[in-house]
Amino acid sequence: MSQGGSAPPGLAAAGAREVSMTIPVAPEMEIVATAQAAALGEYIAMPRDKIDEVKLALVEACINAFEHAECRDEQLHLKFRLGRDAKREWLEVEVLDKGKGFDSGKVEEPSIEKSFVGHRKRGWGLQIIKSLMDEVSFESTPEGHNVVKMIIHLNK
């Protein structure tokens, strides 16, 4: 899995390509999630700046779920997947909550002008996530789950 071409022993050798964890909806728990993302990024020799981008996007996704999802089980379910094909390697992060759904297309795009005029400094989370990650998708399932899937490529 490393950029050198051969997988380091451990996770890949064991056939495990996914790590799952559940965190409670509670202050500072997004930091626990970022520690896992950083560990996987380091494991696959992801550059430090890319790890930091994943961590910031993950913090934004977790905080959005904490504040807006109204999770029925008061938990976020996270999956971290390592992927590789002939052209590139990637880290995929999935944040799932069991809260009320939302339509990302109906979320108003933030603007600098509105931030200064209206004194509204919030509302930039989705924009930040989209700017940091290579691929981002949002899904609300019929079962009432919201899924944010974020992918960053190691080598484009």
Residue 10, in any domain of the structure: no
Give per-residue pLDDT as tens, 89-114.
899 999 999 877 665 566 567 555 55
Strand 146-153: give its sheet, edge to edge.
18-24, 75-84, 89-97, 146-153, 135-140
Residue 80, in any domain of the structure: yes
Q: How confident is the model at residue 116 (pLDDT cuts 50, 70, 90)?
A: low
Residue 98, in any domain of the structure: yes
pLDDT at 60: 94
Residue 93, in any domain of the structure: yes
pLDDT at 71: 77
| DSSP track, 48-60 | HHHHHHHHHHHHH
Domain that holds residue 118: 19-153
Name beta bridge partners: 95: 78, 148
Task: Domain count for the chain, please give it.
Answer: 1
- Average pLDDT of the residues of the chain: 81
CATH number at residue 47: 3.30.565.10
Residue 87, in any domain of the structure: yes
DSSP alpha helices (H): ranges in the chain?
A: 29-43, 48-68, 112-117, 125-132
Residue 7, in any domain of the structure: no
pTM (predicted TM-score): 0.78
Residue 76, in any domain of the structure: yes
Is the pLDDT confidence value at 18 over 50? Answer: yes
